[in-house]
Amino acid sequence: MSISRSARLVTTALAASAAALILISSPASAVIPDGTRFYTPRPDPGAVQQIAQLKAAGQRALAGQIRTMIETPQAVWVTGGSGRTLTQSIKAEARRAAAKKKLPVFVAYNIPFRDCSQYSAGGATSVAEYQAWIDAFAAGLGGQRAAVVLEPDGLGIIPWYTTINGNQEWCQPDEADPATAAAERFAMLNYAVDRLAALPRTSVYLDGTHSAWLGVGDIADRLVKAGVRKADGFFLNVSNYETTERQLKFGNWISKCVYYGTQGPAEARGHFEQCASQYYPASPGDFSTWPLSDAWYAANVGDVSPRRLAHFIVDTSRNGQGPWAAPAGVTWPDPQTWCNPPDRGLGLRPTTRTGDPLADAFLWVKTPGQSDGQCDRGTGTGVDPARGGTADPAAGAWFPQQAEELVRLANPPLR
C-alpha cells in the first residue's frame, strides 16, 4: 500500500447522487462499544518461523516480544477470492471470533486499480466483478459481529481524478477509462457501503488517509461522495506511521468538515474547500499552530453532538515512534517515508478507550512485521538504501528485521 498525491472531479450524475445523500442520510453512531475485545487472527507463518529461529539461537527475550506482538489483536486482510469460497472463509473467521467473544476487524482490499498498480497491485478487474466480490464478502459476515475497514487507499488514490482544488491525480493507468474511472470508484465504494451497512451487526469505515497526506476539505469531499454518511465513519493512518495525537485532531476536523459541507449554513453546502486543515491556517510541520484550525471549526461549526458527526478509527500498529524522515543531506529521488522506514515501533495497543468521543477505537490494522513493499527510495535499483542496500521483501511478506525493530522500539513498551 502506498500513498497518493492528488485527485479528479466526478461526473454530474455522481455529484447529484452525493447531494441526495446529504439530504436523506445521517451519520451512524458508534457501533464499537466501549470495552469491546478484538480478535487476533492466526499469525503470519513468517512470524512463527522467526520465533523458532530466535529461540534456537538463544534469543528467547526477543522471541517472546515477537510472540507478544503476534498475539495482540489485529485485522484480517481479505485481498482476493470469490464466490462461495470467499463467503465460507469469511464466515469461518467470523465464527472463530464469535466463539472467543471477540470482534473481528476485516480489511476489504480488492478494488480495481488497487494501489494504482504499485507495490500492492491487484484487485478486481471490473465494476461487476467487484460488486460480486462485495456480495460474497457480505454473505460471509451475515449476522456475525464485525468491523470492516473498506479499501485502504481507496479514496487517497483514485484513478483519473481531480481534487477540489483542481489538481490532477497522478494515478492515470492506461487500462482505466479517463472519462469513467473516478465515477466508477465512487460508485463501487457506495455499493460496498450500502451492502455492508445493511448487515445487522457490521460497522464499516471508509478511507480517510492521514494527516500528512490529503487536506481536510479534499478528503471530506471524497468521503461524502463515497457514502460516509451511510457508513459508521472513516479510518486514518492505515499502514502508516503518523502520530496518534495528530490523527485525533485530523479526524475531528474531517468529521466537522463533513458536517459543515452537508448540514452547515446553506452557503456552505458542498464547499468543503473552505474547511480549515493541517495546511491552513495551521502549518503541517508545526503542531503548535494546529489550534488555529481548531478555532476555525469552533467559529464555523460550533459544538455539535458526537452523535451527529462521522466517527473514525486510527491504525496505531506502527506509529509508536512517529513518522520517519530521510537522513539530512540524503538526496534520494523519492524518500518513500511510508515504505518500510527504519527504526519505527509498535504503537498504542488496540482499545476503545481513546479519550475522544469521535474516535471509536485504536486498532492494529496493518499487520506489524509485514513489509510495505520492495522500497528503493526512487533509485530504480531494487534495493533499499535506507536499509543498507539490501532488497526489502515484497508487499505483505514477513520482514524479520522490521519485526525486531517494531518490538524493540514499541511505545508504550511491550511487557
pLDDT in tens, 91-108: 999 999 999 999 999 999
The answer, yes or no, to whether the previous bond of 281 is cis (omega within 30 of 0) is yes
Averaged pLDDT, 319-337? 95
Averaged pLDDT, 296-318? 97
Averaged pLDDT, 258-270? 96
Say if residues 336 and 385 touch (Cβ distance below 8 Å).
no
Q: Which residues contact 263 (CB under 8 A, 6 or more apart)?
A: 22, 308
- Check pLDDT > 60 for residue 368: yes
Averaged pLDDT, 281-297? 98
Q: Cite the active site residues.
A: 115, 153, 372
- Check pLDDT > 70 for residue 216: yes
Averaged pLDDT, 37-54? 98
pLDDT level of residue 1 (50, 70, 90 thresholds): low
- Check pLDDT > 90 for residue 27: no
- Rounded to 10 degrees, the C-alpha dihedral 177/182/186/191 comes to 0
pLDDT level of residue 118 (50, 70, 90 thresholds): confident
Of 8-12, 67-71, 91-95, 256-260, least confident by mean pLDDT is: 8-12
Q: What are phi and psi of 327, to 5 degrees?
A: -60, 150
Q: How far is it, in rounded angstroms, from Cα 190 to Cα 185?
A: 9
The answer, yes or no, to whether the previous bond of 27 is cis (omega within 30 of 0) is no
pLDDT-above-90 percentage for the chain = 90
pLDDT level of residue 21 (50, 70, 90 thresholds): very low
pLDDT level of residue 16 (50, 70, 90 thresholds): very low
Averaged pLDDT of the chain:
92
pLDDT confidence of residue 122: 86
pLDDT confidence of residue 30: 40
Which residue ranges form the domains of the chain, and what is each CATH number? 12-408 (3.20.20.40)
Averaged pLDDT, 20-43? 69
Averaged pLDDT, 303-318? 97
- Check pLDDT > 60 for residue 5: no
Query: Tell me, what DSSP letter sits at residue 371?
Result: -
122 CB-contact burial (10 Å; exposed 0-12 / middle 13-18 / buried 19+): middle
Pairwise pLDDT comparison (42 vs 2), residue with the higher score: 42
- Check pLDDT > 90 for residue 181: yes
- Checking 91-100 for CB contacts under 8 A at 24+ apart, the result is 91/139, 91/140, 91/141, 91/142, 91/144, 93/41, 94/140, 94/141, 94/142, 94/144, 94/145, 94/146, 95/144, 96/39, 97/39, 97/144, 97/145, 97/146, 98/144, 98/145, 100/39
Q: Convert the pLDDT of each residue in 339-352 to its tens digit.
A: 999 999 999 999 99
- Check pLDDT > 50 for residue 412: yes
